[in-house]
Chains A and B, each alone.
Chain A
């Protein structure tokens, strides 16, 4: 079939531009990013707390979250993985998009100072505090089948069914469930692409705080990660606190740390204008 190729000059110019973006994207980290948040987590200002929910092991929850509010997700007793999904409250076709999140930030490793994108090139969350730096964007959550293989003969709850329940109760369907973010899941990828559980650096009291950069609905499932090495199905409760976050500063780290985040926030501003 007829096909006209681009000119070598055009190709070279685009390659040069990509390599400049790549160099900036890869070389700023970890110099521009802070260390993980220290433990124990400081107490939240009681006046800023809107709601606090303890999600039992194996269960799900969802909450509205307004722009400028934040969620503290606290492992409490430790050893829990929390699966998270999110939708734009006013247009649920806009949702958490992890493939864009990892691609545009040049890394699958999320931590303090990183942001989480929607499919519309906008920032949904800023990770304003994060003590573990051990989150998984790749593997997804447990299913009835993965639990049956992992814990034979044991009655369990699983993340897939939990998120179908979350979606169903919000008037959404399984068509609307995006790929999920696993908080507190230290999954690493070896050179052949194989997944490994790195083991937790800190098991007790790890926490993360996600500030909402748009009005959202957020869903959670609190089930063991498919790679969780504990042979016993015994998910611990987690504590989710919705609170009014400190106002977004002009020099806020999440906004300014990378060129990509900066452009993502510009997209947020144009949505709100």
Chain B
């Protein structure tokens, strides 16, 4: 765990309106209001943080990985990326990124896909989709509402020939992203429990979420 990193003159640990630790392998959800900034911190480094966003007053509008990739003309998420909904609206904008590489092509791990990727012996391992199901159920949603997500700090290069493989994350302890909300959103996180690929350095660790009010 590293010290607080200031990204704005007015931003400090003391004036954050919310500060959450998410244990290794655990889910979390919370509302980010329009104008607020959410920081998602990879406290120990090399930890994939699987994240979904839903419009707070209409969960049928939600994060769309394809619309987000299409809108920016590229596959990776970084500073300046507009997080786009299935209705084509901007949900959040990424305003800071100390890492530089985030994925939205590879989706969340699940017990079911683990059987295909790594063999049936890995079926009964805790997985992101189970986290998502547990967490969205608290908000009246179900499995049908779980869509392709963002994997913050996960490194999934895609080659011109299509080859795609999860490789070691490049995030260091304390790396963070910040996103400013353009509408009230429900943020749902699965702090990825995957131990069969390098997205968590084979060793899932805790992460931290901070939220600040708008500056004006």
A binds B: yes
Binding site for B on A (CB under 8 A): 1, 3, 5-6, 10-11, 14-15, 17-18, 21-22, 25-26, 92-93, 97-100, 102-104, 106-109, 117, 119-122, 138-141, 143-146, 160, 173-180, 188-195, 226, 260, 263-264, 266-267
Nearest neighbor of B89 in chain A, beta-carbon distance: A145
Chain A binder among B27-35, B162-170, B176-184? B162-170
Q: How many residues in B have their beta carbons less than 8 Å from beta carbons of A?
A: 59
Closest to A195 in B: B73
- Nearest CB of chain B from residue A179's CB, rounded to whole Å: 5
Choice from A26, A190, A195 contacting B163 with Cβ under 8 Å: A26
Contact across chains for B118 and A190 when beta carbons are under 8 A apart: no
Distance of A190 Cα from B162 Cα, bound (Å): 10
Q: A15-B202, A121-B114, A146-B88 are in contact. List 4 more A-B contacts (CB 8 A).
A: A17-B118, A138-B66, A138-B105, A143-B67
Q: Is B173 an interface residue (CB 8 A)?
A: no
Shortest A158–chain B CB gap in Å is 10
* C-alpha spacing A138/B162, complex, angstroms: 11
How many angstroms between the C-alpha atoms of A226 and B117 in the bound complex?
Answer: 31
In the complex with contacts A26-B165, A189-B160, A100-B24 CB distance below 8 A? no
Stretch at the interface among B5-13, B91-99, B142-150: B142-150
CB–CB B105/A99 < 8 A: yes
B113:A103 contact, CB within 8 angstroms: yes
Whether B198 contacts A18 by the Cβ 8 Å rule is yes
Please give, as numbers and ranges, the residues of chain A lying within 8 Å of B76 by CB-CB distance.
Answer: 192-193
Known A14-B195, A21-B118; judge A102-B164 contact (CB<8 A). yes
Closest chain B residue to A143, Cβ basis: B88
Q: How far is the CA of A99 from the CA of B149 in the complex (A)?
A: 9
- Tell me the complex Cα distance, A177–B107, Å: 16
What are 30 contact pairs spanning A and B, CB under 8 A?
A5-B203, A6-B203, A14-B196, A15-B202, A25-B165, A93-B144, A99-B108, A102-B106, A103-B117, A103-B166, A106-B163, A107-B164, A121-B111, A121-B112, A140-B67, A143-B88, A144-B88, A146-B70, A160-B86, A177-B86, A179-B65, A179-B147, A179-B148, A189-B75, A189-B159, A193-B74, A194-B73, A195-B70, A264-B116, A267-B112
Q: How far is the CA of A107 from the CA of B106 in the complex (A)?
A: 10
Docked-complex contact B112 and A120, CB < 8 angstroms: yes
B15 contacts the other chain (Cβ, under 8 Å)?
no
Contact between chains at B144 and A175 (CB < 8 Å): yes
Residues on A with beta carbons closer than 8 Å to the beta carbon of B44: 3
B7 CB to closest chain A CB (Å) equals: 23
Nearest Cβ on chain A to B198's Cβ, whole angstroms: 6
Residues of B within 8 A of A18 (CB): 118, 196-198, 202
- Decide if B115 is an interface residue (CB 8 Å cutoff): yes
Query: How many whole Å from B43's CB to the nearest CB in chain A?
Result: 9
B75 contacts across to A, CB distance below 8 A:
138, 189, 193-195
Q: Is the interface of A mostly helix, strand, loop or mixed?
A: mixed
* Contact call B106/A11, Cβ cutoff below 8 A: no
A190 vs B115: C-alpha distance in the bound complex, in angstroms? 31
Give A22 to B157 CA distance when docked, in angstroms: 14
Contact of A179 with B66 in the complex, beta carbons under 8 Å? yes
Distance of B36 from chain A, by nearest CB (Å): 24
Contact of B202 among A14, A100, A191 (CB under 8 A): A14
* With A109-B161, A189-B75, A263-B120: A121-B115 Cβ-Cβ less than 8 Å: yes
Q: Are A6 and B160 in contact (CB under 8 A)?
A: no
Shortest CB–CB separation between residue B83 and chain A, in angstroms? 15
Give the complex CA separation of A11 and B115 in angstroms: 20
| Given A107-B164, A108-B105, CB of A6 within 8 Å of CB of B158 | no
Q: Which of B53-75 contact A (CB under 8 A)?
A: 59-60, 64-67, 69-70, 73-75
Q: Do B74 and A194 touch (CB < 8 A)?
A: yes
Query: Which single member of B60, B66, B111, B146 contacts A174 (CB below 8 Å)?
Result: B60
Which of the residues B112, B158, B197, B203 comes within 8 Å of A193, measured between beta carbons? Answer: B158
Chain B window 126-158, contacts with chain A (Cβ cutoff 8 Å), 1 for yes, 0 for no: 000100000000000011111110000000001
Instruction: Tell me the smallest distance from the CB of A100 to a CB of chain B, in Å.
Output: 5
How far apart are B110's CB and chain A's nearest CB, in angstroms?
7
Given A106-B164, A107-B162, A139-B70, also A99-B106 (CB < 8 A): yes
